Amino acid sequence: MQSLYEIKKAGPRVVGRHVYGNLKGCRNVEALRDPSVLEDLLRKAGEEGNMTILDVKSWKIGEGVSAVAIVLESHITIHTWPEYRFATVDVYSCGAHTDPRRAFDYIVRALDPEEVTVGSVDRSLE
């Protein structure tokens, strides 16, 4: 008989995926300036990525905005510089049921940048 401590589950014990990027030449400049628009954008991106939104906050900093969505599975952040038509986006989620790339892509479509640089990291625990 096998002990419960000897039974290993297939796949990683913790599934963590991190998608981040720079959005250059954003055509939706007004969104980059508006905290309420960005808060709504983060909520919708979280829903798109099948994440559970717990809270969303934003702060006006100069011409830009920093906003964060705390999701049950981790976080989504955006920092904007409308004077340069530039934004940075960070989506990190834990759980195989989430799709951080889908959330990231939703934000990209809304801000309509001329150029996107994207990176991703697997932050799972095997």
Active site residue: 66, 79, 120, 124, which one? 79
**How is domain 14-122 classified at the architecture level of CATH?**
4-Layer Sandwich (3.60)
pLDDT confidence of residue 113: 99
Q: How confident is the model at residue 123 (pLDDT cuts 50, 70, 90)?
A: confident
38-85 pLDDT, tens digit per residue, is 999 999 999 999 999 999 999 999 999 999 999 999 999 999 999 999
- Of residues 95 and 5, more confidence is placed in 95
Q: What is the DSSP letter of 66?
A: E
Question: How confident is the prediction for the chain on average, in pLDDT?
Answer: 93
Neighbours of 59 (CB within 10 A): 11
Q: Looking at residues 92-101, what average pLDDT do you find?
A: 95
Active site residue: 26, 58, 74, 93, which one? 74
The answer to whether residues 121 and 100 touch, using CB atoms and an 8 Å cutoff, is no
The answer to whether residues 105 and 46 touch, using CB atoms and an 8 Å cutoff, is no
Flag whether pLDDT at 14 surpasses 90. no
Domains in the chain: boundaries: 14-122
d(CA 67, CA 47): 16
120 flagged as catalytic? no
Q: How confident is the model at residue 10 (pLDDT cuts 50, 70, 90)?
A: low
d(CA 6, CA 64): 53
66 flagged as catalytic? no
Active site residue: 75, 94, 120, 124, which one? 94
Residues 6+ apart with CB under 8 A from 2: none
